[in-house]
Amino acid sequence: METLREAQLCIPHLNSSCRKPTHPHTEVMMISVLLSFVSLLTVALNLLVIISISHFRKLHSPTNLLILSLAIADLLVGLLLMPVEIIYIDACWFLGDILCTLYYFVDYIITSASVANMVLISVDRYIAICDPLHYPTKVTKRRVQNCVCLCWIWSVIYRILLLHDHLYKPGRSNSCLGECVVVINYIAGVVDLIVTFTIPILVIIVLYMRVFVVAVSQARAMRSHIASTVQRSRSVTVKKTEMKAARTLGFVILVFLFCFCPYYFPTMAGEETSVDASSAAFEIWLTHFNSCLNPVIYAFCYPWFRKSIKLILTFQILKPGSCDANIL
């Protein structure tokens, strides 16, 4: 009986060891195959987005630079985070407390950077539609690059402040040897809820409501033929491409909300947030699945992405001058 008990431990003959995860073998295999497919798809699709925007000069616009930054964050999710969670679905954690803490630190940095990118995308669409005449001077590539760099730097600093206890003492939330758990206390969880979720979402909603109001008023102006000159007409109408971009990126943000809301439910309920790397928790995988959905949305909504995929998969981008191809 004692031998059977020891066989169920991550580290046999050690009382402080955790018990091995006990899931049906068939269930584990099915989940692992499914999540492996999601991980590969996430890496492949976001890599296509990154190659497309980086290679084709016609796509070097401020908006696409923001999409590029978001795609990099999504690529890191599929490349670094998902494989670790797949490996430890039915296994103990043997990489140590330092790597455990580092894993969560990277996870939270990517999440914060993704949220910041969403806010920047909303601001970009707001200026493009509500102030189109000044958009080229207000939103330049250099400014967008600086904003993207700042959002990543801020994500690192913010997570250092929020997880300083775990960084100072790795493994402080582990109850036994062989697990990788990070527990965010209620106060830190509330701060994270406000800074990483509530404030950004409120900003995004307000900006998109303003975009919607302006779009409706401009549509009415068009129908009633208020504009009397070409210049005035340009100032009160929205380009179809700008509105389509706003709708597409708005849909991206709605999907983001759907995927991230369950993660914050414990904090909303006044509880601590516990994240375990050795369990395929639904809310964790739902947040990561968002990284796979974003490029799928681009594929359905952006013709340039479909054209660039075709050129990449047929190796047309290897030809001289392919970076100047007009795929818009």
CATH of the domain at 161: 1.20.1070.10
Token pair belonging to 238 = 């929205």
Region of 111 on the Ramachandran plot (φ > 0 left; ψ -120 to 50 alpha; else beta)? alpha
Q: Yes or no: say if 104 and 182 are a contact pair by the CB < 8 Å rule.
A: yes
Measured from the Cβ of residue 194, the count of other Cβ atoms closer than 10 Å reads: 13
CA distances from 46 to 54, 62, 73, 111, 248 (A): 12, 18, 9, 16, 16
What counts of helices (H) and strands (E) characterise the chain? 15, 2
Average pLDDT of the chain to the nearest whole number? 78
Residue 14 pLDDT > 80: no
Contacts of 59 (CB under 8 A, 6+ apart): 52, 53, 304, 308, 327, 328
Instruction: Look up residue 325 and give its DSSP letter.
Output: -
Residue at 83: amino acid letter: P
* Mean pLDDT calculated for residue range 197-225: 75
Number of structural domains (the chain) is 1
Residue 189 pLDDT > 80: no
pLDDT per position as a tens digit, 62-82: 888 998 998 999 899 889 888
Segments forming the whole domain that contains residue 272: 2-324
pLDDT per position as a tens digit, 235-253: 444 455 556 656 666 677 7
Residue 6 pLDDT > 80: no
pLDDT per position as a tens digit, 94-106: 777 888 888 888 8
